[in-house]
Amino acid sequence: MRSFLKLLVLAAIVGAGIGLWVTAPNRVDAARFDGLTGDAARGETVFTAAGCASCHHAKGSEDKLLLTGGMEFVSDFGTFYAPNISPHPEAGIGGWSFEDFANAVTRGVSPEGQHYYPAFPYTAYTKMQDQDLSDLWAYMQTLDPSDVASKPHDVGFPFNIRRSVGGWKFLFMSDDYVIEAADNERGRYLVETLAHCAECHTPRNPLGALDKARWMGGAPNPSGSGTIPALTPDKLDWSAADVAYYLESGFTPSFDAVGGHMAEVVENFAALPAEDREAVAAYIKALPPLDE
Amino acid sequence: MKTPFAALALLAVLGTPALAQDLPQPVKARQGQFNIMALNLGVLGGMARGTVEYDAEAAQAAADSLVAVSSLSQGAMWPDGTDDGSIAGTRAKADIWGNMDDFTSKWADFGEAATAMAAAAGTGRDALGPNMGALGNACKACHDTYRAPE
């Protein structure tokens, strides 16, 4: 009996140890950035493609480059608010190092070592190229600071235990690409990494992770009303040129005009080179159909 | 057991087309004007993209139709109680009625973009692209705020 108790205590200690190890923040190795210099002009393109302003500008504000935050994201786990990521030293991220920024964007880990909630699409950004990350950081420091404090998330138990996000990451975070795209790496990088299209266009499992077996299969609108359309060829019959023109102009093939959050996405894509829109269109048209 | 089922089936058959036609006249009217817009934007957009050959006369006619739509009085088409929370079959958000001045000014922006298109549409294919961009922005600006997702 006594030895059984010992074994149980040992198992508990090992279990807790594994639990702590699994849920611990996984940081970048800063040495990997040695010798990198950020180019702010190139960073603007990364910033646009990654859609940073679309979620981090103040709701209703015309100035999309003042990254005050505040936009809300309603989910089954609570309501998340986009934080201030302007270069303000206290309210924003002005006091961060590049390493802090890399940990936030590609690992979902704050400078204090806390896990961010995956409403922040670091599960996509984790595949961001080092040079792009460095350029993005250089660009973001050129933007105006906002002194508005970030709004705390409204998340209930048990999701308010940030450590649990570590377990979520262990289960669901991967830097593997979903689609084979040897002949269209730019398109895949834009869709799966920077523009994080799947965050809305792919359904989620009960724990809020993307259901990769139903990649781009369409999903309920997180805002609660309506659905986000599927992009797979069994559902979307647009040509590649139609997709590229939609991303440039916001017009569908029947000349309905884009609305909702997608209007922000089109605004970003319209500012990118035509080759980028064509690469995205080629990726979309190469998606495998989903059999229903 | 048979009767309620038959009644239900009958209701389903009769009920569906009835629902589709039950939209109030002002809602049908405003949706009609958006269809006329889309049709004419399609003519211009097809030429701008090069999927349809440029035809100065057809381009001018389409642009003039957009200006004509923009000049329609909107007042009667947006009565209270015709938002997406009150009736089915519309995506017009209730925010429209809380921000009527902004809504009206966004509609006026479409009118400006349509007028600019009408001034340029007959002069050549190259003029269409930038004006389609401006028209698209006018559509987006309003949809972004006042149209609910599908």
Alpha-carbon span A124 to A243, nearest angstrom: 22
Backbone torsions φ then ψ of A85, nearest 5 degrees: -120, 25
HSE-up (13 A, CA, CB side) for residue B47: 26
Backbone torsions φ then ψ of A80, nearest 5 degrees: -105, 145
- State mean pLDDT over A85-98: 97
**How far is the alpha carbon of B89 from chain A, nearest alpha carbon, in Å?**
13
Of residues A286 and A20, the one with the higher pLDDT is: A286
Nearest to B139 among A241, A257, A260 (CB): A257
- State mean pLDDT over A220-240: 89
**How far is the alpha carbon of A253 from chain B, nearest alpha carbon, in Å?**
8
Query: What percent of chain A is predicted at pLDDT more than 90?
Result: 78
Classify burial at B136, counting beta carbons within 10 Å of its beta carbon; exposed 0-12, middle 13-18, buried 19 or more. Answer: buried
- State mean pLDDT over B113-129: 96
Interface subset of B 73-92, CB within 8 angstroms of A? none
Instruction: Determine contact: B32 vs chain A, CB below 8 A.
Output: no
Nearest to A225 among B37, B39, B149 (CB): B149
**How far is the alpha carbon of B32 from chain A, nearest alpha carbon, in Å?**
13
Average pLDDT in chain A:
93
- CA-based nearest residue to A106, from A81, A131, A146, A133: A133
The CATH number assigned to the domain with range A29-176 reads: 1.10.760.10
- State mean pLDDT over B88-104: 95
Q: Using N-to-C axis directions, what is the helix angle for B128-146 and B100-120, rounded to 10°? A: 170
Query: Which range has the top average pLDDT, A3-7, A21-25, A262-266, B23-27?
Result: B23-27
Instruction: Determine contact: A79 vs chain B, CB below 8 A.
Output: no
In DSSP terms, A154 is beta-bridged to A79
Contact in structure between B33 and B73 (CB atoms under 8 Å): no
Contact in structure between A88 and A8 (CB atoms under 8 Å): no
Query: Would you call A258 and B140 a contact, using CB atoms and an 8 Å cutoff?
Result: yes
Give residue B13's pLDDT: 44
- State mean pLDDT over B64-72: 98
Give residue A273's pLDDT: 97
Query: Would you call B149 and A226 a contact, using CB atoms and an 8 Å cutoff?
Result: yes
Give residue B21's pLDDT: 57
Instruction: Determine contact: B35 vs chain A, CB below 8 A.
Output: no
Query: Would you call A258 and B133 a contact, using CB atoms and an 8 Å cutoff?
Result: no
Give residue B10's pLDDT: 45
Window from A89-98, A138-147, B8-17 with minimum mean pLDDT: B8-17
At A292, is the pLDDT very low, low, confident or very high (cuts 50, 70, 90)?
low
**How far is the alpha carbon of A224 from chain B, nearest alpha carbon, in Å?**
10
Give residue B17's pLDDT: 41
Alpha-carbon span B79 to A63, nearest angstrom: 32
Give residue B1's pLDDT: 41
Instruction: Determine contact: B98 vs chain A, CB below 8 A.
Output: no
Q: For A75-230, where are the alpha helices, taking DSSP H only?
A: 98-107, 122-125, 130-140, 163-172, 185-188, 198-201
- State mean pLDDT over A180-192: 95
Query: Would you call B149 and A251 a contact, using CB atoms and an 8 Å cutoff?
Result: no
Three-state DSSP state, B23? coil
pLDDT > 60? residue B8: no
At B42, is the pLDDT very low, low, confident or very high (cuts 50, 70, 90)?
very high
Contact in structure between A168 and A209 (CB atoms under 8 Å): yes
Alpha-carbon span A222 to B56, nearest angstrom: 45
Give residue A127's pLDDT: 97
Give residue A230's pLDDT: 96
Architecture of domain B21-146: Up-down Bundle (1.20)
- CA-based nearest residue to A121, from A45, A189, A179, A197: A197
pLDDT > 90? residue B6: no
Task: Report in angstroms the alpha-carbon separations of A89 from A29, A47, A84, B89, B140.
Answer: 24, 20, 11, 49, 35
Give residue B11's pLDDT: 45
pLDDT > 60? residue B90: yes
Give residue A222's pLDDT: 76
Tell me the chain B residues in contact with residue A245 when contact means C-beta distances shorter than 8 Å: 45, 49
Alpha-carbon span A100 to A64, nearest angstrom: 24
Give residue A1's pLDDT: 58
Contact in structure between A192 and A121 (CB atoms under 8 Å): no
Give residue A12's pLDDT: 80
Alpha-carbon span A229 to A232, nearest angstrom: 9
Give residue A62's pLDDT: 82
- The interface predicted TM-score of the complex, written ipTM, equals 0.76
Window from A253-262, A280-289, B111-120 with minimum mean pLDDT: A253-262
Tell me the chain B residues in contact with residue A270 when contact means C-beta distances shorter than 8 Å: 133
Q: How many CB atoms lie within 10 A of CB B117?
A: 26
Three-state DSSP state, B99? coil
Residue in chain B nearest A224 by alpha carbon: B149
Alpha-carbon span A192 to A182, nearest angstrom: 14
Interface subset of B 46-65, CB within 8 angstroms of A? 49, 51
Task: Spell out the domain ranges in chain A.
Answer: 29-176, 211-292
Residue A74's contacts (CB-CB under 8 Å, 6 or more residues apart) are: A222, A223, A224
- State mean pLDDT over B63-72: 98
- State mean pLDDT over A121-132: 97
Integer Rg of chain B from CA:
19
Tell me, what DSSP letter sits at residue A36? -
DSSP, residue by residue, B74-86 = -GGGS-TT-STTT
Residues A30-69: tens digit of each pLDDT: 899 999 999 999 999 999 999 999 999 998 788 999 999 9
Backbone torsions φ then ψ of A16, nearest 5 degrees: -65, -40
Query: Would you call B149 and A241 a contact, using CB atoms and an 8 Å cutoff?
Result: no
